[in-house]
A and B are shown apart, each in its own frame.
Chain A
Amino acid sequence: DPKIIQKPKYLVAVTGSEKILICEQYLGHNAMYWYRQSAKKPLEFMFSYSYQKLMDNQTASSRFQPQSSKKNHLDLQITALKPDDSATYFCASSQEGTASAETLYFGSGTRLTVL
């Protein structure tokens, strides 16, 4: 059974619209992340959250907003979508404060296509 669930697996949107990418992890981890993968930048760090608080944000645009309603959830809201946002978005998690804190566990991704 997948331990990190990302929904939907595929998403098609029109330019200017808004979408929410869902991520739930069942590993009991206290840190969660979003990464973006595209042909231009294979694995690009976007956000990190620890105990539901934003720790690091490397996304220049405010159109990308993570939302953490529960400890094991970290959704990603993207507004005013542009074709350049087309990519696969990966959610990941880790357990801070342990010997394996640096090991990231990735979900299977949401492939977003913006027309």
Chain B
Amino acid sequence: QQQVRQSPQSLTVWEGETAILNCSYEDSTFNYFPWYQQFPGEGPALLISIRSVSDKKEDGRFTIFFNKREKKLSLHITDSQPGDSATYFCAASARNSNNRIFFGDGTQLVVKP
């Protein structure tokens, strides 16, 4: 059973628009949700993260909205730039899990100029 699911699989937006990437999870013990950004030929890099005690986390143009009751979260990228074109992975982990982090399948974002 896949622990973390992401949608859409791919997303294309125009420069300046807001991109919305969705994520849902199964395990209610998950309490930490990082988003990783991956460019072609590189490893994933942490972009922004949120803990389950919060419902929103903002960092510049990137905002995570978290709904614990529905076990859903989303990443909003406002004023999208061509340089934001990358694959975004939603991930989740639980305390005392040997730090095992479960990744979703990723959303490939293309921002057209």
Binding site for B on A (CB under 8 A): 4, 31, 41-45, 48, 50, 55-56, 58, 90, 92, 94, 96, 101-109
Contact = CB atoms under 8 A, between A and B. Distances in A.
Interface size class of B (residues with CB under 8 A): 20 to 34
A4 B44 CA distance: 12
14 contacts: A4-B43, A41-B105, A42-B104, A43-B103, A45-B103, A48-B98, A55-B98, A94-B99, A96-B99, A104-B36, A104-B44, A105-B45, A108-B41, A108-B42
Contacts of B102: 45
Contacts, number: 58
Interface of B: 32, 34, 36, 41-46, 49, 87, 89, 93, 98-106
Contacts of A4: 43
